[in-house]
Amino acid sequence: MLVAGAGWATLYRFGQPLISVRKAVASADPRMPVLSTIAHALLQIVTVALGSPLGREVAPREAGALLAGRIAHCAGLSRDECRLLVACGAGAGLAAVYNVPLGGAVFVLEVLLGSFAPRAMVAALVTSTLAAVVAWAGLGNQQQYVVPAFSGSSALLGWAALCGPLFGLAAWLFVRLTSAARARAPRGVELLGLSVVNFAAIGLLVVWFPQLAGNGKGAAALSFGGHLGTGLAVTLLVLKVAIEAATLRAGAEGGLLTPGLTNGALLAIVLASAWNGVLPGVAPAACALIGAGAFLAASMQMPLTAVVLIVEFTHASHDLLFPLLLAVAGSVATFRAIPALLALRVKAPSSEAAAVADATVTASVTERVNS
């Protein structure tokens, strides 16, 4: 804990200013600072090993983008070629660490480039596929989550249509919370004390709730397998969100992909239980998978990537695509509609200022999660 806190504080104090993947992709000079970026990635890995509730996907994305940017610069490529190569490097890192070649490629196209031009598609698909195949040597060709064989139903479609907007609202609140936590995170020596207190508290909680350990993969796997009851799901959801925000507030860095996926799965179990109390007929485990995709799509603002990742993570059956797509559509639409709805609350000047602030925070958060 002291090593992690001291590492972050030292990096912010003496390291070169960090450049996010998003900024590198948009820059005429694609080079990211070597030592700072490597240290940033390694510290994320260290904190995940310590039990950090944040994700590990940012580190390989940064490493891939760093390497790609250096190669592009040495090769004397054009600005557009550099931009494409850096984005593909980041997508390849994601594809390799999670064994999601299509997910890595779609992430490049939807999130980093915002383009599905043929040249970009070919480059993204080739690099992400090669990265995933090379990673098989050490990680094996395995899916992230083993799930039962789910089947679609009209009840599941109805649940997805009704609950999709609820996932969008929950994702918006989560983004607001984590954005505020990141904005208030320390960058100096106070990192040491906050890191010790934060990770010690997480360690104590893990004694009673071992499902909390790590980035949330364990809790997500239990949700997808139908091994979590409603009461435990509620408890884990509250605690997961709390420690994710607290860890960001303490100054630690990391992704929110797996944490967001887990939060959606836990929330889905709660919503499925409420649905079954009125109209029995939906499997909580199937709802967990759908909810994970819906929450992830809205919180990270990447609907296509989220759907592809859920399919590649779980190898879910084709029947589950229909409710998944329906829930993702409702979630993302709600997330994007909330700022406009807030702007219409009251026409008083103070309320208009608050609405502008809401929209500004949402825009800044979208920029951060895309980085």
| Helix (H), strand (E) at residue 93 | helix 79-98
Residue range of the domain that includes 29: 2-139
Q: Is 149 a domain residue?
A: no
Torsion angles phi and psi, residue 32, rounded to 5: -100, 150
Strands of 184-287 (E only): list them: none
pLDDT in tens, 196-233: 888 889 889 999 999 888 888 999 999 999 899 999 99
What region, left, alpha or beta, does residue 226 occupy, with left being phi > 0 and alpha being psi -120 to 50 degrees? left
DSSP label of 17: P
Q: How far apart are CA 359 and CA 365, in angstroms?
A: 10
Q: Are 85 and 126 members of one domain?
A: yes
Q: Is 144 a domain residue?
A: no
Q: Is the pLDDT of residue 354 over 50?
A: no
pLDDT in tens, 295-330: 999 999 999 999 999 999 999 888 899 999 999 999
Q: Is 200 a domain residue?
A: yes
Q: Are 333 and 242 members of one domain?
A: yes
Q: Is the pLDDT of residue 355 over 70?
A: no
CA angle, residues 57, 62, 66, in degrees to nearest 5: 155
Q: How far apart are CA 350 and CA 163, in angstroms?
A: 32
Cβ atoms within 10 A of the Cβ of 90, count?
Answer: 33
- Which CATH number belongs to the domain containing residue 188 in this structure? 1.10.3080.10
Q: Which residues contact 138 (CB under 8 A, 6 or more apart)?
A: none
